[in-house]
A = this chain, B = another copy of it.
Amino acid sequence: MVKPTVHDIAKEAGVSLATVDRVLNARPGVREKTIAKVQAAVEKIGYVRDTNAANLARQKLYRFAFVLPEGPSQFTDTVKAGLGEVVSSQLVDRVAIKVLTVPSYDPHAVVRSLQTINAARYDGVALMVPETPQIRDAISHLKEEGLAVVTMVSDLPHSTRDYFVGVNSIAAGRTAGLLMGRFLPGGGEVLVVTNSLRSRDSLERRLGFDAVVAEGFPKLSVLPTVESFDDPARLPDVIKDVVKTRPNLVGVYSMGFGNTAVLSALRETGRLSDLTVIMHELTPAVRQALVDNEVAAVITQNVGHLVRSAIRVLRGLCDQQPIYDAQERIRIEIVLRENLPY
């Protein structure tokens, strides 16, 4: 009762090894009838391809480019770290990964960077970029070149990308809204801070947040979004102003960019300890704030999963294999002070 091999299939189906190989690897030159015969044999003896041997034999190298926003973002750093770990730890093998950083606030620069990517040097691309028409065009171009394209974290649904890897931002916003409402049954005003609502995920988070609060927590009123527009220096004054002029402010929802700046601004107002703060993305600064009881909860996604999923999907696309959506779904994680991962 050992594990059956291709030889066993050949014997069972009464064909040669070469034919079995052709069927298994979907190569041409086999009659329909013979294909069926081989597949029946596979079913019957329960053959499963030995991926170790297969990977060893097919000395293929997948060359993927990861396009990430540049600049001092702790979240992006985490993603880069995750990528580095994945590559070094051999958890995913036969992949060569090149990280390209682009100034995400400058769509033209992003496009220029995407234009340097071509089929001669890469088999696939993972993108963490904003949503603009130019970038959508650049993605179309990449697809025409024959590259596999996935978007990460923030999607570009109306582009020709093959797949999106990341959490449902609306659900993430809804989760934040639910937590905020549950934490503040007495009601009051909630401030929402983000980098820019031009970024799709921010917008969707806000939508989800508002929807849940409106449905379930009428005592809570959500103030208009404060945007930093990629300039963290802009935030402190606005935040301080809101905190000062709004005595009923009870909560702050920071949607994930410039969390460090948001935190220090809040600290300066001296009212941080009275506020229920919920943030996105578990970066080092946010983690510390959680430990210090400054932040009530963090909504995050596991970057390790994110990165591995992107790689799996890219590989699947290159091999024209089906993608199991269920396996690629990234969880919306809730982190409190007491369940901080080590």
Interface with B: A26-34, A51-59, A226-234, which one?
A: A51-59
Report the minimal beta-carbon distance from A329 to chain B, rounded to whole angstroms. 6
What CA separation (Å) do A90 and B174 show in the bound complex?
Answer: 36
A212, B171: Cβ atoms closer than 8 Å: no
Given contacts A51-B52, A178-B336, A212-B338, 15 further A-B contacts (CB under 8 A): A48-B90, A50-B93, A52-B52, A52-B53, A52-B56, A52-B93, A171-B338, A175-B338, A178-B338, A182-B183, A331-B341, A332-B338, A333-B334, A334-B334, A334-B339
- Contact flags (1/0) for A36-69 with B, using CB distance below 8 Å? 0000000000001011110110000000000000
Measured CA separation A342–B326 after assembly (Å): 7
Q: Which residues of B contact A146 (CB under 8 A)?
A: none
Counting contact residues on chain A (CB < 8 A from B), the size range is 35 or more
Interface presence of A200 (CB below 8 A): no
**CB of A220 closer than 8 Å to a CB of B:** no
- With both beta carbons as reference points, the residue of chain B lying nearest to A51 in the complex is identified as B90
| Complex Cα gap A299–B333 (Å) | 12
The residue in chain B whose Cβ has the minimal distance to the Cβ of A330 is: B341
Contact, CB under 8 Å: B339 / A331: yes
- Asked if A179 CB lies within 8 Å of chain B CBs, one says yes
- Residue ranges of A at the interface with B (Cβ–Cβ < 8 Å): 48, 50-53, 55-56, 90, 93, 171-172, 174-175, 177-179, 182-183, 185-186, 208, 212, 296, 299, 326, 329, 331-339, 341-342
Interface centre among A56, A299, A337, A338 (most CB of B within 10 A): A338
- Give bound CA distance, A299 to B334, whole Å: 10
Residues of chain B within 8 A of A342, CB atoms compared: 326, 329
User: How far, in Å, is A207 (CB) from chain B's closest CB?
Assistant: 13
- The minimal Cβ–Cβ distance linking A197 to chain B, given in whole angstroms, is 21
- How distant is the Cα of A331 from the Cα of B337 in the complex, in angstroms? 13
Residues of B within 8 A of A335 (CB): 334
Nearest to A49 among chain B residues (CB) is B90
Residues of the B chain whose Cβ atoms lie less than 8 Å from the Cβ of A50: 56, 93
